[in-house]
Structure formats: C-alpha cells, structure tokens
Amino acid sequence: MCFTYTIEPPANSLRLTGEKDGIIEIGAKNGILYLNGSLDWETKKVHRLQVEALNEKGERVKGPFSITINVEDINDNPPVFSQSKYYGEVRQNSRPGKVFMHVTATDRDDPTTPNAQLLYSILHHFPSPYEEILFQIDNKTGAISPSMAGNKYLDPEKQADFLLVVTVKDLAGMSGNAFTSNADVAITVLENLWKAPLPVFIMENSTEQHPLSITKVGSRNHKKPARFPFIIDQNGTIYATEPLDREEKDSYVFDAFAKDNYGEALARPLKISVTVGDMNDNPPVCKRALTIFEVQENEIVGNYIGTLHASDMDQKDTLNSRLQFRIVDQTPKIPIDNLFIVQKETGQFQLSSSSLNRRVASNYSVKVEVSDGVFATLCDVWINVIDINDQIPIFEKSDYGSLVIPEDTQVGKILLAIQANDADEPFTGSSRIIYQIEGDQNETFRIETDFRTNRGYFKINKILDYETSPVYSLTILAKNPEPLVSGIQYNSSSIAYVQIHITDVNEAPVFFKDTYIVDVFENVTVGTFVTSVKAYDPEGAQIRYMLISNSRNWLRVDSYTGDIYTTAPFDREIEKAYIVQVVATEQSKESRSSTAQLILHLKDVNDNPPSLVKNSIFFCYPLSGGEKIEIEATDPDEHRLYPKFIFSLGGGETIQNDWIVHGFGVRRAHFSPKHPNLQKMQYSIPLKISDNGNPPLQGNVNLQVNICECTEDKTCFVPLDPDTSRPTVAMAVGILVGVLLVIGKWHSEMTQPDCNLC
C-alpha cells in the first residue's frame, strides 16, 4: 500500500495519528503513506487515522483529515473441524439421503468471501466392500446420510463398523490453492427395527374379543437386546439392575426425565454420569506363549539378557494392574540352579552366574510367575546358550587375481564372488561374516553378504572413471559382528586381495557447470562480452561450442573459446530472462556432445516513455464549469520503488488558456476545461508525461477530447447519418430476393406428396 499526500506551505511536514498499530506510517517530509508490516483482517478489519499538516515549529496548520483503511481479507486460515473424530449410528435400510449425523468446520477468514466458503467431501471409506460408496455427505452442510448403495447394502451382520475420512476445503473447493483439513468419522450400523412380520393366519368367523392382536411389526431379532443396567423409581431413586463389568464398559452417561401424568416434561432432563470402579478381577496375561532369549556362554555376570512382557486388563496405573515377576523353575539345573535372575517389577532377565557352558547345556527352560497380588500366571521363557566367538573366518583363497572392466560398467553389477568360512555355531553372530574393503577411499565398490552361506558378492557402488582411477589394488577383510574372545585375533587367513583394472571408454565432454546465470543490463551495446562457458573432454579431445534455442539471435558463442557475446539489442520488456542452450562437441570420430544452460537475466533501464492507459475522453455539452475527468499513465519499465508521473500541457497559448491538467497520486491526473465557453466539437490536446526513471523520460501524447451532447445516462449522443437510415436500391433488391426464396421453399414443401400414402 502506498499513497502520497501533498505538502503545501506554510506546512513543511505531516503527522499521522490514530489506529496505526505500529504498521501504518507516513513520511513526514515526502507525504508517502506506507506500511512497515502486514495488515491482518482477522485482527483488525478497519483502521481509522488522522493526518495533519505542521509548520516548522511543529504547530498544526491544516487538518486533521480523516483516513479510513478497510482491510481486505485474503485466504490465510485453513478450515478447522469442531472435533478430530466424530461418532455416529445409522440403521440398516435407512432411506437414501436421511441425515443421521453432521460434521462441522469453521474458517476464520471473511465469511462474505469465498475464503471462508467450505466444501465437504468424503476422502476415504474403510472398509470399502463394494464398488459404490455407502455414505454421502452434503458438500455445503456436512450432513452425512446413506447413499443409494448404503440403503441396499448396509447390514450389521456383514459389517457393523465403518470409518470415513472427511475432507473440508475452503475457497468452495474451486481452487488448487484451497486449504484442507481432515477428520475421522466412525459409524456403527445398527439393526433395522422396522421389519415386515411373518405371514398371518386368521380363522374366519372368529368369536374372540376384538380388536384382536394378530402380529407385531418391528424387529424379528430374538437375540437379547443390549442391556441398560439402570432403572429409576417414582421417587427419583436410581438403581443398578445387575453387576457391572469395568472391562466391558467403564462409564455410563444417561438422562433422567421428570414428567406429569400426561407425559409432559416438568423440567429439563438431568444428565447422570456413572463411573464403574475397578476391582482386581483379571489375571495377568503373558504377551507370548513362549519368550525366547539368547545368551553367550562367556557373558559377563549381570548383563541384560531380555525382557519378559505381560499385561493385565484391570485399570492401568493402579495396584490392580501392577505386575511382579518371580522365577519358580529352571530346567535343567546344571551346572547350577538359579543361573538367571528376573527384575521383580520390570521382568528384565540378567545373568547371575558365570557358569554357562554350552557343552553342558545348550538351552534352558525357565518358568516365571507373574502376579498382580490376587491372581498369578506362569509364563514360559526359553534361553539359548550360544557359542562364544573363538574361531576366525578363513578365506577359501587369499588372492582373487586381476579383473579388467570398462569404465562404463553399470553401478550394481556383480564383479566377483568371494567365500570365507567360520567354524563357530552356524547362524549366530559368532559365525556370521561381514566383508570390509581397504584401499577404496571413495567407496567405489561394496560387498554384500548372503548370511545363509557367508558368500560375499563384490559389486560396483559408484560410477567408474578411468581418467581419475585406472587401477584399484584392494584388500578384503573377513570379520564377525560378535567380538572375538580374549586371546583370539584375526590374522592373514581372514585377508584376501584383488586388483581391478579400469579400461578407457570415450565419454562426452563435461561442463564445469550445468547452468550458467548472468545478469546484464538490457541496453548493453552489440558485441559486449557476456560470459564464458567451459567444458573439458575426459579423453583430452578438442572441443567446439555452439548455441541452440537462441530464438531471438541475441547472442553468439566463440566456437573455440566458449566466450559469449551480444549480437543484437536486448529488450527486457520482451524477455526478462533469456535462456539458451550451449552445446560442447568433442572433435573426434564419435563427435560426442553435452549441453549446458545459460540463463541471462536482463536488468531494466529506463527506455520506454510513459503513455496514456486511455487516450480519449468526453465532456457533456454545454459545460457547467468544474468538470474534471481522471486520466491514468503507464510505463512498462521497472522502477526502483514505484513509478511516479508528472503531467503537463503541450501546445500553444490557446490550449493553455482552455484546459488544465493536475496530477495526483503516482499514476493519475485530473483533466478539465478551464472555462465553460468551449464549443461542441472534437479536440486533440497534446500532453507531456514524464517518469521518475534515471534518467527520466518524457512521453508526448495526444488526448482526444470530445465535447458532445449527452443522453440521460451521461453518454455521448451520436445522431445517425440521414443518408444511411434509408435502404439503398441494392439493399431493397436483396430483401425482395430473400422473401421470394422463403415463399418458394414454403410452396415446395406444401406440394410434396406424403410418401406413406403413395
């Protein structure tokens, strides 16, 4: 936002007061009203200010003048659902479109604009057993109802629960820039209580008392209905009708009504909340039927082995669900009993003795009692004693020789299979082998291990380059993920060697940059040096350069050096960014080439004079005095802050005496007659319009001014030329021929026989 106020003597500065909120300011000397921050419609919709003119002593000489700034809303707030998750129930066979629940969202933007116009839709539907969606949503109100398919297929015996993901968009969902929010909707399908009865049989001439009950419409489901375990008597006492189960339902909320003998409510219903207290009536449950741990036979005493997990359905974080663990049995009890301990509160297992020996016992079965203070459950734990890592990997061969491969071999290709073996227990960390490569600082190669066989596959990991590294002399180490036991070390048996020779392949030239970006003024002279692009050929061949996509032929490139020069004047108003492709081609039999991009950002200079947006206006005759019309100027050039135009009259003394132009703002001026004595005719008024560029440019334009008689709606009345209001001879002949053709066609249609009667 930017407005300019004119300072006229004796004033020499301006002062702004009112609801500035630290955002709206005015230049005391230049009169520019500006923002130094962002306005926010949601915070304040209208700012009321006053501006006053001050003299050199700071005394007010004019004003205050009122300023009202109305803030226009932009779409900067996403819609928000009233709940993150909604719950609803719908009856089986509900009619299509019968609303059973609503979702609601709000948007803080201006409700009178599209910014806050919301559109609802169903994004996902879980599960989705049919091709057709079972629910629908009113895109304006958020009302959810069964669809035609839902009326047909919803059945609680087949699928009782559904989850919808509902989306709401602002901007009425009509823009890709709309904000979006989602919410989950959980829907439970209930049985249809309105069902046709079974066929009815009635004996004729019945002598029983009438009216006679013959059947009942409604549910034929003879299952026990969902129970409601509370009743209320006439005194208002509420009773529980049966024992409650917290694990089945931990709370109830219901309403109590007071009604008179006619069923009319005597007061508002009272909301009753019942919380079911927990008692310890559930035993602990082991998470797994069998929990398995591994421990090395040389494991240090006290080391963590694993955690036994169990749970309790009683209320969480209470004594009823507090679990305590205790080992009650270890099998076998060799070499000693109580080899393991379990943390009483956490179920964590630790080693209590250094007596493990895999040759004596390779596994143990441990029974653990898990108790909640009332109930106890036995959980089974199986502990495998694994071999210690006292054997090193040994390569089948220590030298894998030399390999010769071209530099364009694909990344990921297997070059070699290597094999080492380990005598420790199979399929443990002690026998698993990991291969490492030494002498490959850039990780050009990698080895992947098949842990079923410990075979290693030597692969290319990065693009090869003969010019950078033609030969690799590599050392391969075979190690275990488990540390070796004390006193055992890797030796030469765990080392192998391989040499890789890379052969040269002719490659395309390589640019030092993929994209060259240059800023240049649009008025540089033809032949000006712009930049230099450089490429090299990996094989050392000479390179030649050329330009493609040089659509305006503004540039040329020196084919030998890559220097780029201008060949024609630039025009930023046509192209702000001029993009060309530079091709580098090697001088060889293959003539391989590559391409880089040059982006030329043209910087503006003031090379376009201002002009009028509209070059014709009119005044109604006769003039009454005081008329004025707003005219506006434009300029395609860029200006550092904003364009400001100065308007003045051209022409001789007559024009100066008859017309006046007075600029206001930065782009506009008022144009008006100086007196009411001007004749009814067309005038061509020369105007001078100067911009604030550096250096400034002046545009000389002619404003066409028509002083004319006006209609009631204040537009120029243009009388018809009498000579053009009558038809010419040629027009009369044309009309006559057209009439004759219509008559002839009508007669022909009337005389055609009816083929169905022939």
pLDDT score for 721: 56
pLDDT score for 526: 94
pLDDT score for 749: 43
Strand partners, 166: 122, 183
685's enclosing H/E stretch is strand 682-690
Strand partners, 25: 34
pLDDT, tens digit (0-9, with 9 covering 90-100), for 349-363: 998 888 888 878 989
CA 303 to chain CA centroid, nearest Å: 48
**Spatial separation of the C-alpha atoms in residues 24 and 35, rounded to whole Å:** 5
Q: Rounded to the nearest 5°, which phi and psi values hold at 508? A: -70, 155
pLDDT score for 738: 44
pLDDT score for 582: 95
Nearest CA to 581 among 567, 600, 601?
Answer: 600
How would residue 259 be classed by pLDDT, with cut points 50, 70 and 90?
confident
> For residue 33, what are its two tokens?
């009203």
Is the Cα torsion angle 72, 74, 76, 82 positive or negative in sign? positive
pLDDT score for 3: 77
DSSP characters over 160-222: -EEEEEEEEESGGG-STT--EEEEEEEEEEEPP---PPPPP---TT--S-SS------S----
**Spatial separation of the C-alpha atoms in residues 232 and 241, rounded to whole Å:** 10
Predicted TM-score (pTM) above 0.85: no
**Spatial separation of the C-alpha atoms in residues 575 and 374, rounded to whole Å:** 85
232's enclosing H/E stretch is strand 230-232
Strand partners, 598: 516, 580
For residue 380, pLDDT over 90 is answered with yes
For residue 144, pLDDT over 90 is answered with yes
Q: Rounded to the nearest 5°, which phi and psi values hold at 319? A: -65, -25
**Spatial separation of the C-alpha atoms in residues 373 and 380, rounded to whole Å:** 20
pLDDT score for 119: 94
> Does residue 535 contact residue 562 with C-beta atoms inside 8 Å?
yes
**Spatial separation of the C-alpha atoms in residues 48 and 573, rounded to whole Å:** 40
> Does residue 169 contact residue 79 with C-beta atoms inside 8 Å?
yes
For residue 735, pLDDT over 50 is answered with no
Query: What value does the mean pLDDT take over residues 287-311?
Result: 90
pLDDT score for 734: 47
pLDDT score for 651: 86
pLDDT score for 745: 42
Highest mean pLDDT among 174-178, 216-220, 564-568, 666-670: 564-568
pLDDT, tens digit (0-9, with 9 covering 90-100), for 633-691: 988 877 665 678 889 999 888 899 999 999 887 889 999 999 998 989 999 999 999 88
For residue 221, pLDDT over 50 is answered with no
pLDDT, tens digit (0-9, with 9 covering 90-100), for 467-523: 889 999 999 999 998 888 888 899 999 999 999 999 988 788 999 999 999 999 988
pLDDT score for 750: 39
**Spatial separation of the C-alpha atoms in residues 568 and 550, rounded to whole Å:** 12
pLDDT score for 754: 39
Those residues whose C-beta lies under 8 Å from the C-beta of residue 137, and which sit 6 or more positions away, are: 103, 120, 121, 122, 143, 144, 145, 166
579 or 237, which is more confident: 579
Q: Which of 27-41, 386-400, 485-499 has the lowest mean pLDDT?
A: 27-41
**Spatial separation of the C-alpha atoms in residues 115 and 169, rounded to whole Å:** 10
Residue 672, SS3? strand
Residue 157, SS3? coil
Percent of the chain surpassing pLDDT 90:
48
pLDDT score for 186: 95
